[in-house]
Structures are given as structure tokens and as C-alpha cells.
Amino acid sequence: MSAPVRVRFAPSPTGQPHIGNVRTALFNWLFARGRQGKFIVRIEDTDQTRLVPDAVEGILDGLRWLDIDWDEGPEVGGPYGPYFQSERLDLYQEAARGLMEGGHAYNCYCSPERLQEMRKQQMKEQKTPGYDRCCLNIPAQKLREYKDEGRVPVVRFKMPDPEEITVQDIIRGEVSWRSELLDDFVILKSDGFPTYHLANVLDDHDMEISHVLRAEEWLPSTPRHLMLYRALGLEPPLFGHLPMILGPDRSKLSKRHGATSILEYKEMGYLPKALTNFMALLGWSLDDRTEIMDRRTLVENFSLDRVVKSGAIFNREKLDWMNGVYFRNMSPEELTERILAYWEEFPASQILRPLDRGYLMRIAPLIQERLKTLRDASGLTSFFFQSELVYEPQELVQKGMDLKTTSAALEQALSTIDSSVTFDAETLEERLRALGSELDLSGRQFFGLLRVATTGSKVSPPLFQTMEVLGRDRCSHRISKAIEALAAS
């Protein structure tokens, strides 16, 4: 019987989580959920100089927003805690001492200035930069001098004699490195905190992690981790390195492409289900045609054998399209609730309050086809909530018309609206089309004029449905104001 699947997402709280971080979390989560495994969140906060206030909360909020729940970790606990590395220092320090006693590590007293000068000289001589083992065998006298000076050493791992280090990567297949090309790296800093390498290995072992699925950028660290596992006498987990996420120009994803905080996508008005669907396709696919997939389909079908090796292209236009598909599949009630919740969290200044839920529910279907993000909703609907519109006469006058014919057409439209027994889209369209023909105006001219007069914009949801929702009184009032604006010009 195979060991249970246990995977982890181990972010560093040095900033807010971005698409690349969260895509890694999502792939781990999908892999665990599809195999009745456990998904663990572990906070790697050992780099104390780079910690960002509230970053942990931002990471957890981002996961919660996307409905990526964790079985063990912060706020949840679990049998393998604590889940903050800063609370596990004794474990790392004890391991470092054991590695030194076994001849696998040693104290290094080199100053930052010496290391900088060493790298500079190596580059000048066109050598691969790396530690020169100056402190591997320090004479007793020199050691006493360092201690008298109060120097606090770091601990370096001693890489083995020349050999080939190989990993069978789940995604990339066999990958090998020569040990002599890897220098003796630091595993414990002078402040007593471990580096990523030591903490990562010990925590993955102690938390019984079965699969390490992480970004491709960590692939070069794998031989170091394998050597640490061996020196510690531990069995390594299985490794899988996920493809990089690239911009449309195939360069590394940056802010101009969309590498922004995951919570900024929330503020921009993307739906968590749409963003999850989009991220799942950044390096994985179900087949060569299916793009819209709900959470259940993703969980049931996600497998590592369909994760690609090559970089995944981040396409913002595709995300917008996908978000729009999710909007169009919503009921009016759900769309209304989404818009209300978004405006509650991110108030739109042009939307007057208090909001009438029933009124918004009549508006929502009118913008459903054009909606790409929740942020768009305020711009598409603001005229429904405004008590007064501001008109520019040149916007009212349509091509082929003048002030006189424009004003006359609005007078006739106002009379038609006021005299209508019923005020619904079908009746309005029938009567106003007939009026346009009587006035010898094209649909583009007459309806363009009515659109600007009733909404204040050249672009709006379907005109007659919009007028029905606005209501007779508001439409009459706005057309009257438009006539006044023309008279005053």
C-alpha cells in the first residue's frame, strides 16, 4: 500500500502572494484533493530581514478567497506543528550540530567583505562563483583569534567529493548535476536562523511530505537538498518542478503582464472560480479543447502527467474572457449578489446609496453580456442610479441632424412616452420605431439620440430594456432636461 499523499504550500511572508505563488498552491491542493490526501500550509519566515507586515494574513486571505482550504497549518493547527519555521529553531540548530559532528558541515567565519572580494576575483578569472572552503580546516590559533574577536560563524554544508547527483523529477524526468560544480552552501546563519535549504528539508521530512511540487526556479536547489537528506540519513520525498509562468512575449512574468498580488485580482473584480479555472490551465490541461471547468472537474481530473515542462503563457485577455463566461452563466440573483458584495467591499463613488436590491436585480441582466469584471459594473450601471445627467449638446446631435431636428425629435419622443398606456420594452420599441419612421430618421440617428438623452452615454445596455428599467418618470425627466440643454446651447 502506497504512503498517503501529503503536499505543502510553503510561502515566505516577504510580500503579498502573486499568481505564480498561488498557482503552485492550487496545483498542490488539486493533487491532494484528488487523492484523498492532505494539503499543508507552512510559513517559511526564517529570513527575518525581509519579512513584510501583514504578509501572512495576505497569503491566507488569498487562499481563502480562492476557496483553497488547508488541512494543517496556521489557524488550523495539526499534529506536525508548529507551522511557522521561526517557531522551530531548536530543530534546525540541533540538526546543524549533528551534521558538523558527522563531518558534513563546518563553521565559516568569513566576513561579508571577504566573500564579496572572493566572488569579484572569481568572476575576474572567469571562474564559477562559489565558496573556496577557506574555513574548512581552520588552524586552532586562527579559531581562537576569531572567537576573541567575537565573530559569530555561519554553518556551511560540505558538498561530497565529485559525483553525479540525480533526481527522477515527476514532471521533467531524470535531471543530473555534478557535485563539484556546487559550492558549500550556508545552512545556518549567524543569527541562529536556518537558510531555506536546511529548514525545507527538515520540515518536509518531519511533516511527512510525500510530494514536493514547487516552481521550476527551485530545481537548482534540488541537488543540495538531496545531499542534505543523505547526510541526515533521511528518505527524500518525490519532487516535481512546475513550469514557469511567462508573459505573452515569453519573458518572465512581471507586473506589466499581470504578476500582481492575488488580492489585487479580487479588487479588480475577478471571480474566484474563474481565476482558479484560469490558473489551473497555466501549465496543465484536461485535453486540447476543454477550457471552462468547475472545481469538481478539476479535482477529479488533475494529474501530474498532464503538467507540461515548457513555460505557461499568462494571457490577460483569456482571463477576461473566462471571467465573462462565468458572469454569463450566473442567474440574475447570483449576479446581483456578486455586484452588491463587491460594492460593499470596494465602494464605487458614482453609485448612489442606499442601494435597492430589487432595482439592481432588474439592471444586472442588462449588463451581463458585456461584463468582464465586477469593477466594470459601476461604469456600466452608474446612469441608473444618478438623479441628474449632464449633457453635452454635441453628443445629443446625431450625424445628419442639427439642433432643430434633434430638439423636435426629442419633443415627439417625450409625447409618445407620456401617452403610452404601458411602459415596457416591447411597447416602447414598437411605438418609437414607428415614430422614427414618421420623422424620417434612421434607427442609428433616432435611437442614438434617445440613448444619449436617457443614459448620458453613446454606449449602454439594450435601449428599450434600459428605458423600461429606468421607468417612465425618469425617462421623461431626462428627455426634458436634454431638450433644455439643447435650447440653452
399-452, pLDDT tens digit by residue? 999 999 999 999 999 999 999 999 999 999 999 999 999 999 999 999 999 999
**Does 248 score more than 90 pLDDT?**
no
> Residue 288 above 70 pLDDT?
yes
**pLDDT at site 226:** 98
The position carrying cell 449633457 is: 391
Least confident window among 1-5, 173-177, 245-249, 329-333: 1-5
* Residue 250 predicted with pLDDT over 90: no
Q: Which amino acid is at 349?
A: S
Closest CA to 254 of 20, 61, 10: 20
Name the band, by pLDDT with cuts 50, 70 and 90, for residue 24: very high
Q: What is the mean pLDDT of residues 336-351?
A: 89
- What's the pLDDT band for 54 if we cut at 50, 70, 90? very high
Q: How far apart (Å, rounded) are the C-alpha atoms in residues 51 and 53?
A: 7
pLDDT value of residue 351:
72
Reported as a pLDDT band with limits 50, 70 and 90, residue 253 is confident
Query: Residue 1: is its pLDDT beyond 60?
Result: no
* 147 vs 143: CA distance, rounded Å: 6
**Residue 255: active-site member:** yes
Other beta carbons less than 10 A from residue 295's beta carbon: 16
Contact 217/184 with Cβ under 8 angstroms? no
What number is the average pLDDT over the span 356-367? 95
Render pLDDT for 306-335 as a digit per residue (tens, 0 to 9).
999 999 999 999 999 999 999 999 999 999
Return the C-alpha cell found at 466: 434600459
272-287 tens-digit pLDDT: 999 999 999 999 999 9
Strand partners, 178: 164
Query: What integer is the mean pLDDT of 72-82?
Result: 97
Are 470 and 384 spatial neighbours (Cβ–Cβ below 8 Å)? yes
Q: What is the pLDDT of residues 206-229, one digit of tens each?
A: 999 999 999 999 999 999 999 999
What's the pLDDT at 257? 67
**Which residue in the list 255, 309, 404, 458 is annotated as catalytic?**
255
d(C-alpha 90, C-alpha 328), whole Å: 54
Per the prediction, the chain carries an average pLDDT of: 94
Q: How sure is the predictor about 467, in pLDDT bands with cuts at 50, 70 and 90?
A: very high
